[in-house]
């Protein structure tokens, strides 16, 4: 009897908002497996909660499933899914996922629709259901938009929250109960002016009319300690102290709602199928729903017109790039502020050979968000860091010490394996016997999740022993890894050549060696410096040290159990 090993995938979308949906789907899949005599592997149950079926991007459970299916020694032959819409509501995406899994030798069984992708007629059945799922998604979107438009016309919030306003639920005056929640029905959400936030909005508009730039206003708001919009989400993303951003200020200046114009459906969203990223796009005027609410105006018409005129004038002066330029500088994207963790960005001279870099948080949000206002020229960074790498990190004493540590560890590892060679052979024989007994039990129809789990563990351990035996039988001299001094001496020269021809490759090679580094203002003998600190990467150092022909050798060494810590952090000081 050939017992199929199965994984399960379940998903419910944000519009359902029902956790029990996952339990229902998993239960249906398990019932199907029990009827067929298939085995469901508990460790291969994957779920995505509150994730739309419109795209596969952002679905962690699905990503883990695909990763498990792609392994050379895959653990399952089938994926059980309640129905096609749980996999995707996009026709093309459903077809692509099925083909990808089949390429890896994994089939899908859609339980509710009784579709087995192994069968010849499955393509037609899946195609029909995918068309229905795709159309259902479009219908849901239309109904949602229609409902939001109705809420807007009735004067309720149609979605989202805007700084300067507060929101309160309006309950059904009849006391009718919502069957889904068991609570009194909510008719809508009333929008009210928040006096404290509204005063900040008026101040913001006034500052712009008085001639302050968006960045200057951002700095001022942060200095005054005004709590920014979305401060909770900033904290959740680990941004440290919440602060105003120039983009936030600019969006407030451009929102017509502050003058009482709450026109609905002026913009929509489209999703890039290649990246899953959403982009806001304007909609035709014919699709707009006029919704004037003068009682919600925070800004008077005269102030609004003055701000709109200034924004339009600034837009005409700004040259819009035709495409996004790639950075021309070696350390772009590698420098972090020691205080706030923000990136160092170009503040002046971006079109020149030696631009000035500074902490982006301080530059964009002001001293209140990050006190590090120290600036540095790119050539100073390049000259100092590259010099330190060549003279310190890649110096013969440092690389020799690393190699000695690596060789000691490898030699100890091989010695341990040789001393335990007999017990390793015996363990493998014992594991083989246990595996044979479990397989025999499964063939007799006594399969269980516990037996399958035990068999998986045995196979994993047996593969590890096979790898150890191959190392013992190899003639490779593991304890004599050497530094290719000639290759190391020329590494920096080759890096500098790449800086002239292929800056992206040069940056990638440097990242493999030192990763990101932080810049911290320091005082040395009364002079202000930036101290650069980075944790060198042992793998990157070894790749440089062993030379051009070291790729295969390094793979062999890593396979022997190499797991060294990197050397102590290398640091240097940069003057302003």
Nearest 5°: CA angle at 210, between 205 and 213?
75
* Statement: residue 561 has pLDDT above 50: no
Q: What are phi and psi of 338, to 5 degrees?
A: -65, -30
Mean pLDDT of the chain: 80
Query: Which carries the bigger pLDDT value, residue 573 or residue 285?
Result: 285
pLDDT of 571 higher than 70: no
pLDDT of residue 569: 36
How high is the pLDDT of residue 10? 92
Rg of the chain over Cα atoms, rounded to whole angstroms, equals 31
Q: What is the C-alpha to C-alpha distance for residues 7 and 3, in angstroms, rounded to an integer?
A: 13
pLDDT of residue 538: 64
Task: Look at 290 and 489; give whichever has higher pLDDT.
Answer: 290
Which range among 13-17, 205-209, 551-555 shows the weakest confidence by mean pLDDT? Answer: 551-555
Better-scored residue on pLDDT, 229 or 14: 229
**Confidence (pLDDT) at 364:** 86
Judge whether residue 126 has pLDDT over 80.
Answer: yes
Q: For 85-105, what is the mean pLDDT?
A: 87
What pLDDT is recorded for position 574?
A: 41
pLDDT tier at 198 (50, 70, 90 boundaries)? very high
pLDDT at 564: 39
Looking only at the bridges linking them, the beta strands covering 335-337 and 376-377 are: unpaired
Residue, of 73 and 33, whose pLDDT is higher: 33
The model's pLDDT over 484-534, given as tens digits with 9 standing for 90+, comes to: 777 777 777 787 788 778 888 888 878 877 888 888 888 878 787 788 888
Residue 448: band (very low, low, confident or very high) from pLDDT cuts 50, 70, 90: low
Residue 438 reports pLDDT greater than 50: yes
Residue keyed to tokens 């050798």: 553
Give a three-class secondary structure readout of 286-350: HHCECCECHHHCCCCHHHHHHHHHHHHHHHHHCCCCCCCCCCCCCCCCCEEECCCCCEEEEEECC
Q: Which residues contact 172 (CB under 8 A, 6 or more apart)?
A: 184, 185, 186, 187
Bridge partner residues of 280 (DSSP): 269
DSSP 3-state assignment of 2? coil
What does the alpha-carbon distance between residue 174 and residue 159 come to, in Å, rounded to a whole number? 25
323-379 per-position pLDDT tens digit: 445 567 888 888 888 888 888 888 888 778 888 999 988 888 888 888 888 888 888
Rounded to whole angstroms, the Cα distance separating 266 from 454 reads 59
Give the three-state DSSP class for 241.
coil
Residue 60 has pLDDT above 90, yes or no: no
Give the span between the Cα atoms of 186 and 172, in whole angstroms.
6
- The DSSP symbol for 393 reads I
Name the token pair of 570: 């290398």
> Do 192 and 162 form a contact (C-beta atoms < 8 A)?
no
Kindly state the percentage of the chain with pLDDT values over 70.
81
Quickly count: other Cβ atoms within 10 Å of residue 5's Cβ.
19
Q: Could you tell me which residue, 402 or 120, shows the higher pLDDT?
A: 120
Output the pLDDT for position 197.
Answer: 94
Q: Tokens at residue 442, please?
A: 């499964």
**Cα separations (Å) of 431 from 21, 407, 451, 561, 567?**
41, 32, 14, 22, 39
The confidence score (pLDDT) of residue 326 equals: 54
- Check if the beta carbon of residue 253 is closer than 8 Å to that of residue 208: yes
- Cut 0.75: pTM above it: no
Three-state DSSP state, 278: strand
């Amino acid at each position: 009897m050939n017992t199929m090993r199965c994984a399960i995938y379940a998903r419910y979308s944000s519009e359902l908002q029902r956790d029990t949906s996952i339990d229902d789907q998993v239960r249906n899949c398990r019932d199907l497996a029990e009827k067929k005599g298939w085995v469901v592997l508990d460790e291969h149950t994957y779920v995505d909660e509150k994730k739309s079926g419109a795209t596969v991007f952002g679905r962690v459970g699905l990503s883990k499933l695909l990763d498990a299916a792609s392994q050379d020694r895959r653990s399952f032959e089938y994926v059980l899914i309640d129905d096609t819409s749980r996999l995707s509501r996009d026709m093309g995406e459903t077809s692509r996922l099925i083909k990808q899994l089949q390429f890896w030798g994994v089939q899908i069984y859609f339980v509710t629709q009784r579709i087995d992708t192994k069968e010849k007629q499955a393509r037609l059945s899946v195609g029909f259901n995918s068309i229905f799922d795709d159309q259902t998604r479009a219908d849901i979107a239309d109904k949602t938009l229609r409902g939001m438009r109705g809420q807007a016309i009735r004067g309720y919030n149609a979605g989202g929250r805007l700084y300067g306003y507060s929101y309160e639920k309006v309950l059904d005056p009849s006391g009718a109960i919502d069957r889904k929640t068991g609570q009194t029905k909510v008719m809508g959400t009333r929008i009210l002016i928040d006096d404290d936030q509204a005063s900040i909005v008026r101040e913001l508009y006034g500052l712009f009319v008085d001639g302050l730039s968006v960045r200057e206003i951002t700095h001022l708001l942060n200095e005054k300690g005004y709590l920014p919009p979305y401060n909770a989400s900033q904290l959740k993303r680990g941004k440290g102290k919440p602060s105003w951003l120039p983009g936030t200020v600019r969006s407030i200046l451009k929102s017509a709602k502050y003058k009482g114009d709450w026109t609905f459906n002026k913009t929509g969203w489209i999703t890039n199928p290649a990246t899953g990223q959403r982009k806001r796009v304007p909609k035709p005027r014919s699709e707009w729903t006029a919704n004037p609410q003068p009682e919600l105006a925070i800004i008077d018409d005269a102030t609004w017109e003055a701000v709109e005129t200034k924004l339009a004038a600034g837009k005409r002066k700004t040259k819009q790039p035709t495409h996004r330029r790639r950075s021309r500088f070696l350390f772009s994207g590698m420098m972090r502020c020691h205080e706030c963790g923000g990136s160092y960005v170009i503040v002046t001279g971006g079109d020149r050979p030696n631009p000035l870099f500074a902490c982006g948080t301080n530059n964009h949000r002001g001293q209140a968000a990050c006190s590090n206002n120290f600036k540095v020229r790119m050539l100073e960074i390049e000259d100092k860091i590259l010099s330190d790498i060549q003279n310190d990190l890649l110096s013969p004493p440092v690389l020799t010490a690393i190699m000695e540590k690596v060789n000691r560890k490898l030699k100890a590892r091989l010695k341990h394996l040789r001393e335990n060679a007999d017990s390793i052979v015996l363990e493998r024989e014992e594991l083989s016997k246990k595996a044979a007994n479990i397989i025999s039990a499964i063939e007799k129809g006594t399969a269980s999740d516990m037996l399958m789990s035990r068999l998986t563990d045995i196979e994993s351990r047996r593969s590890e022993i096979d790898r150890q035996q191959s190392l013992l039988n190899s003639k490779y001299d593991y304890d004599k890894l050497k530094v290719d001094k000639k290759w190391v001496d020329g590494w920096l020269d080759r890096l500098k050549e790449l800086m002239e021809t292929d800056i992206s490759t040069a940056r990638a090679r440097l990242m493999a060696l030192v990763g990101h580094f932080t810049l911290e203002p320091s005082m040395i003998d009364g002079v202000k410096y930036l101290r650069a600190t980075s944790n060198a990467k042992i793998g990157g150092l070894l790749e440089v040290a062993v030379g051009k022909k070291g790729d295969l050798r390094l793979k062999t060494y890593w396979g022997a159990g190499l797991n060294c810590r990197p050397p102590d952090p290398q640091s240097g000081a940069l003057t302003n």
